[in-house]
């Protein structure tokens, strides 16, 4: 069974491979996506290191001259996705790349992805690491220079698509106060998958409205920081950056890049300290979001709340309390382990929806992050559980984009949602099976 599924996972990656990079999902996501490519490269590394390397080179070929790394790189043309390059109009920015891209970014995973590749190669790929190192460093430099207005070591996101968790209920409060025009949108996503598992039309109007504002401001970071109605310090995004910094420190040490290592250590020291003081909520006993525009915390618990485990941010005590509260006795496991790990939003919340995109379903990349996080803290019980729940879902339904977290519903065959043959679900399955560290 395992061998057969492993073969299928490879086939998914091969099918989605486009002569240099991998699309997340045919039809639904037909271009190169930023953090997808990071996770996809982790899978390729086990079966074809040259493809893993190419994936990252292609991604970084879309980097802007100020270090910014866009969330979509339009190497190819496709009519099956909205919004395409003409809606993003990234060339309004004086820094944009030759290749067409979007003008928003995604969680910075490349630092730790580079280190994973290096380890998977048996420490042989140092030349490749050296080739990409400065580009990834420049991307981190961009974040601290332009997206940390209060100089806290915590960076903001200015669009829900930057979070990676596009449609989490956390953003509902922002949309409520936003008077976006009622654009007529040519949505394509709902032609590919069931509309009941995707964001609503009104939500899409807000997503496009933000992009229209960025275009009006020519993607100028200072104007965005000053005026954007969506300005959030997101726990997942910042945990990814801190974890990537950590890997970049180790790789930089190997490459003898002393200045870079010093810089990265400074960033991380400040970032970890302020992450703990600003994003930790002692009442909720977990990590939450901060709305910089409204200057107030957003008290919601999602799977992103636990991502700092992967970055080593909580103390052992804080981590144990969080794990007990949300997993060993708590809402994300449900009564009698009713829920598979890990729902993307708090199952006790009125906003929880087990079927709809980031409002409840399990996502494989978050599970991979949390699996590594539990391992880091020696919580083998939870690491084992999240791994076996992940493997169960993939074996039962195949490589879907997201899955229903309710355990009892999986007797039915349709509890895998969104796109099928989804690349990071396949790639991370390969990594979960093959990775020994
Ligand atoms: C969805 C996800 C996002 C991902 C993209 C491509 O928009 O929310 O995180 O990068 O699909 O797979």
Predicted pLDDT of residue 437: 65
**Nearest protein CA to atom 12 of ligand 1, as residue:** 24
429/433 Cα distance (integer angstroms): 6
User: Rounded to whole angstroms, what are the CA distances from 267 to 133, 137, 246, 274?
Assistant: 17, 12, 10, 11
* Position 268 pLDDT exceeds 80: yes
Q: Which of 72, 161, 303, 363 to mutate to test the pocket of ligand 1 (most atoms within 8 A of CB)?
A: 161
Q: Which atom of ligand 1 is nearest to the CA of 35?
A: 10
Q: Whose CA is nearest to atom 11 of ligand 1?
A: 29
401 is catalytic: yes
What pLDDT score does 196 carry?
Answer: 87
Establish whether 166 is a catalytic residue.
Answer: yes
CA-to-CA distance for 318 and 89, rounded, in angstroms?
A: 44
Pseudo-torsion of CA 84, 14, 21, 252, nearest 10°?
Answer: 140
Taking the domains of the chain in order of start, what are their residue ranges? 2-434
Q: Which residues line ligand 1 (CB under 6 A)?
A: 24, 29, 33, 35-36, 164, 166
Active-site residue identified among 203, 401, 404, 431: 401
> Which ranges of 171-315 does DSSP label H, i.e. alpha helix?
172-176, 189-192, 201-216, 221-227, 235-254, 258-274
Name the residue at shortest CA distance from atom 4 of ligand 1. Answer: 164
Q: Which fold has domain 2-434?
A: Glycosyltransferase (1.50.10)
pTM of the model as a whole: 0.98
CA pseudo-torsion sign 305, 308, 310, 314: negative
The tens digit of pLDDT for each residue in 39-97 reads 999 999 999 999 999 999 999 999 999 999 999 999 999 999 999 999 999 999 999 99
Q: Which residue is catalytic, options 166, 173, 281, 321?
A: 166
Average pLDDT of the residues in 127-132: 98
Structure-block tokens of residue 327: 């997993």
Is the pLDDT at 411 greater than 90, yes or no? no
335 burial class (0-12, 13-18, 19+ CB within 10 angstroms)?
A: exposed
The answer on pLDDT for 1 being more than 90 is: no
């Amino acid at each position: 069974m395992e061998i057969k599924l492993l073969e299928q996972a490879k086939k998914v990656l091969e099918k989605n491979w486009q002569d240099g990079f991998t699309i997340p999902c045919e039809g639904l996501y037909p271009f190169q996506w930023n953090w997808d490519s990071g996770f996809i490269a982790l899978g390729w590394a086990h079966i074809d290191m040259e493809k893993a390397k190419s994936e990252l080179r292609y991604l970084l070929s879309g980097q802007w001259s100020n270090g910014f790394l866009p969330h979509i790189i339009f190497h190819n043309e496709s009519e099956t996705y909205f919004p395409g390059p003409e809606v993003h109009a990234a060339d309004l920015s004086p820094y944009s790349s030759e290749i067409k891209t979007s003008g928003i970014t995604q969680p910075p995973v490349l630092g730790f992805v580079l280190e994973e590749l290096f380890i998977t190669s048996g420490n042989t790929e140092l030349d490749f690491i050296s080739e990409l190192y400065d580009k990834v460093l420049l991307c981190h430099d961009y974040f601290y220079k332009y997206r940390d207005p209060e100089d806290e070591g915590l960076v903001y996101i200015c669009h829900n698509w930057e979070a990676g968790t596009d449609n989490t209920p956390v953003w509902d409060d922002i949309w409520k106060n936003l008077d976006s025009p009622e654009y007529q949108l040519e949505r394509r996503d709902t032609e590919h998958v069931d509309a009941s598992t995707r964001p609503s039309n009104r939500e899409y109007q807000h997503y496009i409205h933000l992009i229209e504002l960025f275009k009006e401001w020519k993607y100028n970071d200072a104007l965005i920081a000053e005026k954007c109605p969506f300005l959030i310090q997101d726990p997942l995004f910042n945990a990814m950056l801190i974890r990537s910094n950590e890997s970049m420190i180790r790789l930089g040490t190997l490459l003898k890049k002393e200045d870079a290592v010093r810089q990265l250590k400074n960033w991380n020291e400040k970032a970890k300290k302020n992450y703990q003081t600003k994003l930790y909520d002692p009442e909720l006993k977990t990590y939450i979001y901060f709305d910089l525009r409204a200057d107030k915390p957003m008290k919601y618990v999602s799977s992103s709340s636990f991502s700092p485990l992967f970055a080593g941010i909580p103390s052992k005590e804080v981590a144990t309390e969080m794990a007990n509260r949300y997993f060993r006795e708590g809402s994300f496991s449900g009564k009698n382990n009713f829920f598979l790990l890990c729902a993307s939003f708090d199952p006790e919340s009125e906003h929880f929806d087990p079927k709809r995109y980031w409002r409840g379903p399990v996502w494989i990349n978050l599970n991979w992050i949390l699996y590594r996080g539990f391992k880091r803290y020696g919580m083998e019980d939870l690491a084992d559980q999240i791994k076996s729940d992940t493997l169960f879902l993939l074996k039962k339904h195949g490589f879907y984009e997201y899955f229903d977290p309710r355990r009892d519903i999986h007797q039915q065959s349709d509890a895998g949602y969104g796109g099928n043959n989804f690349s990071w679900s396949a790639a991370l399955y390969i990594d979960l099976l093959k990775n020994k560290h």
